[in-house]
Amino acid sequence: MKNYQNIIIVFILTFSIYSCELVNVTDIEAQDVLTEETAITDQIGAELALAGTYSTLNDGNLAVTGINIYPFYIDTDPKGSSNGYSTNNVDSENGTIALVYSSYYNLINRANYVINIVPELEDNLFEPGKKNHIVAEAKFLRSVMSLYLLRRFGQFWDLESPYGIVLREKQASTLEVLPRSSVQASYDFILSDLDYAIENLPASNVSYHANKFAAKGLKSRVLLYMGKFSEAATLANDVILNSGFTLENTFAEVFENEFNSSEVLFSNIHSDTEYNGTSVGWWLYLSLSEYYVNFATSQGDTRLDIVNFEHPTRGYLNGKAPFFFDGATNYYLRLPEVYLIYAEALARSNGSLIDVAAAVNTVRNRAGLLNTTASTREELIEAIRVEKFLELVAEEQEPWFDLVRYADLDGFDISTIKPLVTSKNQYILPIPFNSVTTSNNVVEQNPGY
């Protein structure tokens, strides 16, 4: 495990040198040159290629550049962010979304290289079980990026919508043009990858490697999005009871321990001493939104002082982010979210309200708060949304995707929070202009853009 971790860190440090220079407005970068050094021919080569895929999680376009789009959501308000995001009216020619969109597909392309090549190699080139394990890690990474693409650029809340994502199953040696798949087909693709990961990954509790329970946790989120509430509740409860991941004693300890936290099911790994392309002073740049600060204050939320801490010379800064050029941990999935997935899925599938409240209170009590006063099913469902907002603020924008789902399921009026959001078209970002035009409109633009 230690050697494998070192391989990933070496890739991270190498990748950081050039990651900020990669600019590509199509959805992928072609991998049409494989040298003897980069071709996968055995287990060592497969592990190196997989480590290279992990290192792409530290691409600045997935982190630093990507945070420019955060005002599109509700919890953060980056300084220097471009116009159009805060009003959810983003121009499809905006360069930032092109970089983010491309970076998701670049990681998928790297994962596909492993997924497609490794199964073709002889079994005797691998330790027993290692071949499927490596493919499972790559499929897990592909599922993460596919889900992120779907919820940022696709109508993820509507299973009948044709506006899913471009699904890429093969590594690209040319800039092959493929149409978008439906939302249902996109989810089916993601679930297939996660099911393979669940079947073939170990039940470790190391956050920076794909593992069985991270895959189960992510699948429970997908099932929640799809409205399969009973299945989501069962799977989330399995993670809570059997994963070996545990809540930290305090909220602050999560961000002190970063990717080594006992409750982080999946995150990137980074060096604490070398600039790796993911930080660039997030603590200053990724500031909290006025809406979040005011709302958390009105709720008397104890987490506010940790998330929005006061620096002696720079004012209020984001306490979930690192300082200066330390590497940044991206929290793709934490155990408190799984508790709240379980609570919501149980509530929406007519489960025990006592168990629903208990799951919510587990998260609240760890934050130093009293038990929820919500008692009816409707009150608890809303309390869960609020709790996820306060717990997961400034991480992966889950509170926004909750708002979209609640608007669809319960008629929640998003304009009460973002007054200029008056259309479902504003829930998601446009497909980058060049990805549409260079495909001769084979890749269809989102409605309203």
Cβ neighbours for 274, distance < 8 A, ≥ 6 positions apart: 13, 16, 327
Distance in angstroms (rounded) separating the CA atoms of residues 276 and 60: 8
Give the SS3 label for residue 432: coil
255-283: b (≥16 Cβ within 10 Å) or e: beebbebbbbbbbbbbeeeebbbbbbbbb
Q: Other C-beta atoms within 10 Å of 365: how many?
A: 12
Per residue in 135-161, pLDDT tens?
999 999 999 999 999 999 999 999 999
Query: Comparing C-alpha atoms, which of 251, 247, 216, 246 is closest to residue 234?
Result: 216
- Most confident range (mean pLDDT) of 66-80, 102-116, 290-304 is 102-116
Does residue 66 register a pLDDT over 70? Answer: no
Burial of 369 (0-12, 13-18, 19+ CB in 10 A): middle
pLDDT of residue 27: 54
Residue pointed to by tokens 């116009």: 83
pLDDT of residue 408: 98
Pick the range with the lowest mean pLDDT from 267-276, 308-317, 373-382. Answer: 267-276
Does residue 11 register a pLDDT over 80? Answer: no
| Cα 176 to chain centroid, rounded | 26
pLDDT above 70 covers a percentage of the chain that reads: 78
pTM beyond 0.85: yes
Strand pairing partners for 333?
A: 266
pLDDT of residue 150: 98
Query: Comparing C-alpha atoms, which of 411, 405, 3 is closest to residue 228?
Result: 405
Does residue 35 register a pLDDT over 90? Answer: no
Q: Which amino acid is at 95?
A: G
Residue 180, CA atoms < 13 Å, CB-side half-sphere: 21
Stretch 341-369: mean pLDDT: 98
Quick check: 64 and 283 in contact, CB under 8 A? no
CA 407 → CA 167, 272, 286, 415, distances in Å?
Answer: 27, 40, 27, 10
Give the pLDDT band of residue 272 (cuts 50, 70, 90).
Answer: low
Distance in angstroms (rounded) separating the CA atoms of residues 196 and 185: 17
Q: Are strands 331-334 and 315-318 parallel, antiparallel or unpaired?
A: unpaired
Q: Which domains does the chain have, with CATH numbers?
A: 2-270+330-418 (1.25.40.390)
Higher-confidence residue: 248 or 79? Answer: 248
Residue 259, CA atoms < 13 Å, CB-side half-sphere: 19
Distance in angstroms (rounded) separating the CA atoms of residues 238 and 296: 31
